[in-house]
Amino acid sequence: MRRSLTALMVVAGLLVAACANTAAPTPQIVYVTPQPTVAASPTATPVPPATPSPSPSPSPSPSPIPTPSREAAAARFAVIDRAYIEAYTARQKKTFGNSEHFASYTQARSYYRAEARNLERFETKLRAMVFPADVMPDVRVLLRRISEELILMGDIAGRTDEVYGWTLNERILKADSLTDAARTVVGKDLGLTYGD
């Protein structure tokens, strides 16, 4: 029996030793952090809901450019041509009277300055017009003739050298004849009649 008691004691001692070597479990603490809540700020501006971008609407088809009416162009050209000729004739009568020559070089320069303004008005009104396509080549010739004549008139108006100035006068007279012929061609293209 002594043996069993000793064995029992050994077993009990082992159990006590085993219990003494194991540490008691320590309680674990788990900290839970709550999610922060967003409080509405009194100065915060509300974000508008996203609006879908509008789908591009089809672009309207370009409207066709109307073909200019020959009758309307003729009527308009007749008005501006008549205004040009009337101003030209009045200036001629005032400057020359019954003569066909300038009284002085100073008079010639003054005349051409005034006539250049008349021709520029005519040109500006021509450029604002819409002509039928078949008339445009002759209109371009007329505009070129006007431009050439205006350059010469500007040159003589600024020249003090009379000898050279009178040479320019001859060139202006020729240029004026070319402008007049080109003007008549455009008028006839539009169906206007001129006394020939």
Q: Are 119 and 150 in contact (CB under 8 A)?
A: yes
pLDDT at 138: 97
Q: What pLDDT score does 30 carry?
A: 46
Residue 193's pLDDT is what?
86
Q: What is the C-alpha to C-alpha distance for residues 99 and 20, in angstroms, rounded to an integer?
A: 148
Report how far residue 107's alpha carbon sits from residue 22's, in angstroms, rounded to the nearest whole number: 133
In a domain, 40, yes or no: no
Q: Which residue is associated with the tokens 């070319």?
A: 178
Q: How many CB atoms lie within 10 A of CB 2?
A: 6
Residue 152 forms part of a structural domain: yes
The pLDDT assigned to 9 comes to: 56
Mean pLDDT by 10 residues, the chain (196 residues): 51 52 50 50 52 54 64 95 95 88 92 95 96 96 98 92 94 96 96 76
Domain of 127, in residue numbers: 70-189
Tally the domains of the chain. Answer: 1
- Residue 163's pLDDT is what? 94
Residue at 125 is within a domain: yes
57 belongs to a structural domain:
no
The answer to whether position 118 is within a domain reads yes
**For residue 14, what pLDDT is reported?**
52
- Range list of β-strands (E), the chain: none
pLDDT at site 129: 95
**CA–CA gap between residue 157 and residue 106 (Å, rounded):** 9
> Which 3 state secondary structure label does DSSP give 52?
coil
Q: Which pTM value belongs to this model?
A: 0.65
- Reported as half-sphere exposure (CB side, CA atoms, 13 A), residue 55 has a value of 1
Report the SS3 class of residue 41: coil
DSSP character string of 132-189: -GGGHHHHHHHHHHHHHHHHHHHHHHT---HHHHHHHHHHHHHHHHHHHHHHHHHHHH
100 found inside a domain: yes
Q: pLDDT value at position 52? A: 53
42 part of a folded domain: no
Query: What is the per-residue pLDDT for 97?
Result: 85
Nearest to 146 by CA among 89, 90, 186: 186
* Residue 52 resides in a domain: no
